[in-house]
Structures are given as C-alpha cells and as structure tokens.
Structure 1
Amino acid sequence: MKAISNISSVSASALCIEEIQQIESSVAQFGSPLLMLDCDIVRQQYQSLQAALPGVILHFALKPLPHPDVVTTLLAEGACFDLATSGEVDLVASQGVPADQTIYTHPIKRDQDIRDALDYGCTVFVVDNLNELNKFIPYKDRAEILVRLSFRNAEAFADLSKKFGCSPEAAIEIIACAQEAGIYVKGLSFHVGSQTMNPQKYVDAIDVCNQLMRDVVALGLPALSTLDIGGGFPVSYSHTVMPIDQFCEPVNAALAKLPDTTTVLAEPGRFIVAPAVTSVASVMGQAERDGQIWYYLDDGIYGSFSGLMFDEAHYPLTPLRQDNQCYPSVLAGPTCDSIDVIAQNILLPKLENGDLIVAKMMGAYTSATATDFNFFKRATTIVMNQHISDELRVV
C-alpha cells in the first residue's frame, strides 16, 4: 500500500499537549467512547453571541444538547431558554430555571404539552396556523402568542421554514382571529434555518417582520411588542465561517429599524454548544479492503456521529498517533450495519488497535440523537469546568 507523507488535515498537531494529556487520562479513567463537555466553552460561546447581539435576549434552544450542566452553566450566565417539549420543560424545571426565563416555541403542540408548560409557568407559545391558535382558546387568560413566519432558505443545513411558519398574509389572519377569540398575540417569530452562512437572510426576515408589525397597527389590530429572530447562527466545522461579531453587524442594523419599544429574542442552540464537546473513540479492529485500511471504532453513525446522517456536519477528525507516513483509510462505526461509516478516503497514519480518534465540534445534535442500536452503548459524557468541582464528573 502506498504511503503519503506530511498530511496535515488529520494531524494530532491540531491538539495541544494539555488536550492530549487530558484525553488520555480521561480514557484511562472512564474508558471509551467519551464525550468531553467543557462548560468554559459554553460560557465563552454564550458571551460572544451576547456581545455580538447587544440588547437581544438569548434563549438557549435545548434541542442540540439538552444536558443539565449546560442548563446550569447558562443559567448562571443569565441566559433564558427555548423549550419545545414537555421533557425539556421537566429538564429546566429540575435545574431551577425560573419559568419567566423560558418560551415554548414548537409550532405544533398537543393539549398536554400546553398544560405541562403552563403548569410550570411558561406562558409564551408559538403558533403558525389557525388550528394551533384554537388550541389556546381554553387558556386565553394564561397564554401569550408569537406568530411564526416562514422564510425559505435552501442554503441552510436545515430549512426549518419548509416545515413551519406562515406567510405575512396568513399571520395577519391569525392575529385578527386571535383578537376575536380574546387570545393575546405578543409578537412575531421566525427561524431562517440551521447554519445560515449569510446574515442577509436575517436582515430580509427582520425587514418583513418590521413592515408586518406596522401593517398590524394600520389595520387597527393591537400593536405587537416582541420579535423572536430564532437561531441558526453559524459555527466552523470543516470550513471557516464569518466571525460572529461581523456576522451580526447587518442583523443589528436591521433590528435598529424596529420600533423602540420592541423586545427582541433569539434562540441560539448549535452556536452555543457545538464547539463545547470533544468526542474520543478507540480503534476496535482493522482490515484492508480495496486498497484502504478500514478502522472500526467504538462509536459511529448510530452513536455520537449521528449528525453525519442528517445534519451534514463534517466533524474535524484527529488521530492521537503521529507519523509522517499516511495511508488511504476508512473510519467505520462499531455496528453491523454497512451504512455505519464515519469517513471514507481519508489519509491516516498506520493505527494500532486501541489507538484514539478525536473529533472536535461534537456538541450539537450528537449525544442528543445517539442511539443504543445493536446494543452498543452511547458514549459516556464527562463534564469539565463546571466549577462545582475541580474533578471530572460522569453524567
């Protein structure tokens, strides 16, 4: 097999000495596979977005990483939270999050979902159609509504407006029907899509919402006080993205055109947690197939790398073993399913059984969507820098 020299894309030089020592000691203590959650990075990401969007109230979207230590870390930073299920209600309630620091943004809900949120004390909900609005007639004295608009975005990882949201014309109809039913409409919301690379998508949506808020007043309907600009703020996987402060400059300029009394919310998820988790997997076995070395890891598509199937995230991969000679290789997961392949046609040094593969940017849509398929247990999550204890904790 032909060796290829000096490949840098999978070099352990991407890791500092302290990181390598931390990884090796963690595997020695807890085994593999591991997910290493660094709460300091959660704090840093939250603070950087907060600085980039001054005056915007950030509600962390729990969906990408609904972990108790993420909740408590962000709560200590003064964050609010975006909920979408009764399970997420239970999580924030168990961690002492005040209900008035939450909103419930799933556009489609069962009656029990509404009651669970209201019983907790969360009163702000999202709707995008009349059928959903009518569910709040029994709760009109307790609930406040945001009407979600649709802004299609084929460039995003996930075009969330394909599934949710309505047109401005439909939004006016919903607002008018809400007034007749005695349901309070607090404002508007939108989500331009996950991993949105172009800030103009936010600007265009904000401008439409700004005009719609003015149209509502012109029609004699109650003025809207709130705009939720959703999430979708990009992070760097295999390609560098625009720095968040630069990305948000045009967004802030568009927000400045809103009426002075408008409260602006956002729902960041991936941006806060994606960089905060490092995955560590070990080589279970290996074989040569069609001129490439196949390395079988103890984590894969059905585990922490589940996002490769639906999220299009390309996680930076690094072997701890160093060698100038690299060979065409495949990284496969542990299950008996043939689709369980993490990376193909990559160049790696010759690895031994037990060698470690490290993946960065593993905080979003990884552990949250992992399974126990084939009875391979999910990766163990260890928590660092929570400041409750100086030691690593297993959760």
Structure 2
Amino acid sequence: MSVTSIISAIAENNLPFDSENIESLASRYGTPLMVLDCDVVRQQFRNLQQALPNVDLHYALKPLPHPAVVSTLLAEGAYFDLATNGEVDLVSSVGVPADRTIQTHPIKRDSDIKHALSYGCNVFVVDNVNELEKFVAYKDDVELLIRVSFPNADVLADLSKKFGCKPEAALEIAKRAFEIGVRIKGLSFHVGSQTKTGDKYATAVRRCIDIMNEVVDFGLPALSTLDIGGGFPVQYTPDVLPISIFCKPIREALAELPETVRVIAEPGRYIVAPAVINIASVMGQSDRNGQTWYYLDDGIYGSFSGLMFDEAKYQTFVLNSSQELFSSVLAGPTCDSIDVVAEQIMLPKLSNGELVVTTMMGAYTCCTATDFNFFKRAEVIAINEAVVFEDIITA
C-alpha cells in the first residue's frame, strides 16, 4: 500500500482495497493518525532533481523534521538545510555526514554557531553586518552565504519580509567580510512559498549574477555558490504548474552562471507535502443551523494547525460511498470555537466512529501541532521506508 495509491483510488472513487488498508491502519494504531509514505518522498525528490539537474538539493527540515524523511533522502543522495540546534541533532542522530549540511538561519546565537560547528557543519548564512561580525571568532572554520531579499507579493508566504538584505547592500557586506577576514562563499535567496511561476527565481538568479560580477569588479574573491532557496509549489489545487514546467525559467537563468558556480536549493514543502495523509475519526455530531457538525479527534490545534497560518489547501475525503451529500462542517475536538477544519463541505451522512481522510498533509502540520486541551497529537507512522516502488505516479 502507498499513500499515492490511496489518493489515486479515492479520486477515482475506487475505494475497496485502500478503504480496507486505511481502516486497518486506524484499527492498529488508533486515530488521529498521520501516515508518512517514504515512496512519495523518494519520488518527489526525484521529480525535483530531474526538473533542476545539476542543482544539489538540500532538504529543509522545517516542514517535516522526521527521521524517516531524513534517512530516505540521505539514501537518495540528498543534502540538508538546517536552521536550529534541534535539526542539527536530528540529522546527526540519523548519520548524515556534516559536509552534506548547511546552517541557513540568518540570525543565530553564538551557542547556535558553536553547536553546528561541533557537529561539523561550517557553512552559514548572514544578511547583515551585525550577524557577520559574530563569525570573527570562527573565521578560520566557516564559510558564509549572504542572503539577498527579493520581495514577492504573489506567494503563500513571502520569506523576504523577515530576512535578507537589499541587493545593493550585498557588496557592502562582502567588503566588510573581507576586511575582518571572514570568507564569503556565495549568495542565497528565497522568493517565498508556493510561488505561481518560476519567473521570480529567474529574476533573482540574474540579479545575483550581477552581484557576483560586482564582487569581482571590486577586487574581492569570486563567489562560488548560489543558493536558490525553496518554495517550489505542490498541487494543493489543480492550477499549480507541473514541476518541470515551473522550473523551466529557472533552468534558463541558471545556464547563464559560470560553470564554476555550484548551485544548491532548499526544498521542503515540495518534498513532503504529498507524502502524508491524516486519518481522523468522528467523535460526535450535532445539527446546527441546517448543517451537520462532525467533531473529529484531530483539528486546528493538532495536525490541521497549518490552516491557521500556512493557508495550505488540504483535500478531505470519507470512505462512505453514499451518493447523497449534505452541507457539513468538520470541527476539531477542543473546546475552542476557532477549532474548525472545514465549513460547508459536502459529505454523506456519517456515523460516529467513521473515518475522515485528508491528503497533502506532510508540510507544516504535525510539526506545528500541540497538545492543547490535553488532546494528544496524532501519531506519525512511516511506511515503505526501505522499499522502492518504481510505478509511483509522478508529479
């Protein structure tokens, strides 16, 4: 069984085999349950690798920091993007070689720098002189990337709002680094999450090429790395471009770089969002204002936490095959009135204990879940950790 086959079967209303497997998982592990399919992680990685050849993909742990994801991607030849001490500890525990990692949080405590260095990670990111000067004490051990800001209003989350220097400031940071003896390795940027086209990346790449030329023209050492960040879109909705088409303008812009420049990227959501399904149970129900409210054992304070801040579009299904549908509400289990997962969703009449399945749940869900109201967060189980199925549907 794979999550991909579950999603495909549900979409085609061909449920018998997958319905039995979902029910079996729920019976064995209980609900709420998050099922992580490592085959989908593999395939997503391969899809992006094919769309961005000659780009070293550093999985960003933030959306799903799970050991099974790390070990699966390590076996695929991935690199890793770390931002916290906890993420350093996770990859270390799985056996990731330190030279396959970078630490990309633009703002760090001295203890964070020491922790990464003690593991062996020596590539860091800065976006201002204050941060740069923290590395004077470690100048013989580190290489830095300067993060450049490219604001993007046409995204789910504009990550340039909080981090990154203006393009015209990058040369000044590079000058200061040279003065204090800290090596600048290259540039980085992040155009934001769920960007609609690859054009924003292409524009940022070309501006970074300009900055690299400015650095050389000033007489500073040439930069050897460009980090194009993450944000590659997943198909929460049907209008999202296939990844190969999305990356076409990125590939064209990267072709303008000197061959001596290594290009890396930081995919997170794209790798894991389609790889997880949520299985929840109906705890109870009530007729309210002409709609049936179904109260699930998972909700906004649990695996659906992304609905509060991530604006992701999850896809919810039931195993009940009845053709008669009614306007319904799916609510979470807590006593808080904002704990509502979906409103005006068309569903058949459900019984207490019936299962509700939600797909595309791998990014910014269980990692931001809480135990609010003492409702235990969903257990995460991994399947297909060591098996590769070649017939997985590709994006």
- Normalised TM-score (structure 1): 0.94
Q: Report the Cα offset of residue 308 of structure 1.
A: 0.4
SS at 1:258's partner residue? coil
Q: 1:14·1:318 contact (CA, 8 Å) conserved in 2? A: no
Alignment of structure 1 residues 177-256 onto 2, 5 Å: 177-256=176-255
Q: 2:106·2:127 contact (CA, 8 Å) conserved in 1? A: yes
SS at 1:81's partner residue? strand
Find the counterpart in structure 2 of residue 372 from structure 1. Answer: 371
Find the counterpart in structure 1 of residue 323 from structure 2. Answer: 324
Alignment of structure 1 residues 259-278 onto 2, 5 Å: 259-278=258-277
Q: 1:12·1:320 contact (CA, 8 Å) conserved in 2? A: no
SS at 2:247's partner residue? helix
Find the counterpart in structure 2 of residue 4 from structure 1. Answer: none
Q: Report the Cα offset of residue 267 of structure 1.
A: 0.1
Find the counterpart in structure 2 of residue 258 from structure 1. Answer: 257
Query: Which amino acid letter does the alignment assign opposite residue 366 of structure 1?
Result: T
Q: Alignment length, in residue pairs? A: 380
Query: Which amino acid letter does the alignment assign opposite residue 324 of structure 1?
Result: Q
Find the counterpart in structure 1 of residue 159 from structure 2. Answer: 160
Q: Deviations over 1:116-173 (max 9, x none)?
A: 0000000000000001001000000001000000011111111000000011221111
Find the counterpart in structure 1 of residue 384 from structure 2. Answer: 385
CA distance in 2, matches of 1:220, 1:308: 49
CA distance in 1, matches of 2:239, 2:279: 23
Find the counterpart in structure 2 of residue 123 from structure 1. Answer: 122
Find the counterpart in structure 1 of residue 392 from structure 2. Answer: none
Find the counterpart in structure 1 of residue 314 from structure 2. Answer: 315
Does 2:24 match 1:25? yes
**Unaligned stretches of 5+ in structure 2?**
1-9, 389-395
CA distance in 2, matches of 1:131, 1:60: 28
Q: Report the Cα offset of residue 14 of structure 1.
A: 5.0
Query: Which amino acid letter does the alignment assign opposite residue 121 of structure 2?
Result: C
Q: Report the Cα offset of residue 17 of structure 1.
A: 3.4
CA distance in 2, matches of 1:197, 1:280: 29
Q: Report the Cα offset of residue 216 of structure 1.
A: 0.8
Find the counterpart in structure 2 of residue 54 from structure 1. Answer: 53
CA distance in 1, matches of 2:60, 2:13: 30
Q: Deviations over 1:20-74 (max 9, x none)?
A: 2221100111110100000000000001100110000000000000000000000
SS at 1:82's partner residue? strand
Q: Report the Cα offset of residue 295 of structure 1.
A: 0.3
Q: 2:123·2:144 contact (CA, 8 Å) conserved in 1? A: yes
CA distance in 1, matches of 2:17, 2:67: 26
Find the counterpart in structure 2 of residue 335 from structure 1. Answer: 334
Q: Report the Cα offset of residue 388 of structure 1.
A: 7.7
CA distance in 2, matches of 1:12, 1:300: 23
Q: Report the Cα offset of residue 112 of structure 1.
A: 0.4
Instruction: From the superposition, tell whether residues 314 and 28 of structure 1 become closer, same or farther in structure 2 (CA, over 3 Å).
Output: same
Alignment of structure 1 residues 83-102 onto 2, 5 Å: 83-102=82-101
Query: Which amino acid letter does the alignment assign opposite residue 24 of structure 1?
Result: E
CA distance in 2, matches of 1:262, 1:233: 21
Q: Report the Cα offset of residue 190 of structure 1.
A: 0.1
Q: Report the Cα offset of residue 229 of structure 1.
A: 0.1
Q: 2:15·2:319 contact (CA, 8 Å) conserved in 1? A: no
Q: Report the Cα offset of residue 239 of structure 1.
A: 3.2
Q: 2:189·2:229 contact (CA, 8 Å) conserved in 1? A: yes
Query: Which amino acid letter does the alignment assign opposite residue 205 of structure 2?
Result: I
CA distance in 1, matches of 2:176, 2:227: 21
Query: Which amino acid letter does the alignment assign opposite residue 45 of structure 1?
Result: Q
- Normalised TM-score (structure 2): 0.94
CA distance in 2, matches of 1:20, 1:352: 16
CA distance in 2, matches of 1:12, 1:157: 25
Query: Which amino acid letter does the alignment assign opposite residue 90 of structure 2?
Result: L
Query: Which amino acid letter does the alignment assign opposite residue 125 of structure 1?
Result: F
Find the counterpart in structure 2 of residue 393 from structure 1. Answer: none
Q: Report the Cα offset of residue 195 of structure 1.
A: 0.9
Instruction: From the superposition, tell whether residues 265 and 15 of structure 1 become closer, same or farther in structure 2 (CA, over 3 Å).
Output: farther
Query: Which amino acid letter does the alignment assign opposite residue 48 of structure 2?
Result: L
Query: Which amino acid letter does the alignment assign opposite residue 263 of structure 1?
Result: R
Query: Which amino acid letter does the alignment assign opposite residue 272 of structure 2?
Result: V
Q: Sequence identity, in percent?
A: 64
Q: 1:12·1:319 contact (CA, 8 Å) conserved in 2? A: no
Q: 1:303·1:379 contact (CA, 8 Å) conserved in 2? A: yes
CA distance in 1, matches of 2:81, 2:105: 9
Query: Which amino acid letter does the alignment assign opposite residue 192 of structure 1?
Result: V
- After TM superposition, where is structure 1 displaced by more than 4 Å over at least 4 residues in a row? 11-16
Q: 1:127·1:145 contact (CA, 8 Å) conserved in 2? A: yes
SS at 1:321's partner residue? coil
Query: Which amino acid letter does the alignment assign opposite residue 234 of structure 1?
Result: P
CA distance in 1, matches of 2:75, 2:197: 31
Q: Report the Cα offset of residue 16 of structure 1.
A: 4.2
Instruction: From the superposition, tell whether residues 117 and 298 of structure 1 become closer, same or farther in structure 2 (CA, over 3 Å).
Output: same
CA distance in 1, matches of 2:49, 2:264: 11
Find the counterpart in structure 2 of residue 150 from structure 1. Answer: 149
Query: Which amino acid letter does the alignment assign opposite residue 127 of structure 1?
Result: V
Q: 1:12·1:321 contact (CA, 8 Å) conserved in 2? A: no
Alignment of structure 1 residues 125-140 onto 2, 5 Å: 125-140=124-139
Instruction: From the superposition, tell whether residues 12 and 182 of structure 1 become closer, same or farther in structure 2 (CA, over 3 Å).
Output: closer
SS at 2:317's partner residue? strand
Does 2:103 match 1:104? yes
Q: 1:274·1:363 contact (CA, 8 Å) conserved in 2? A: yes
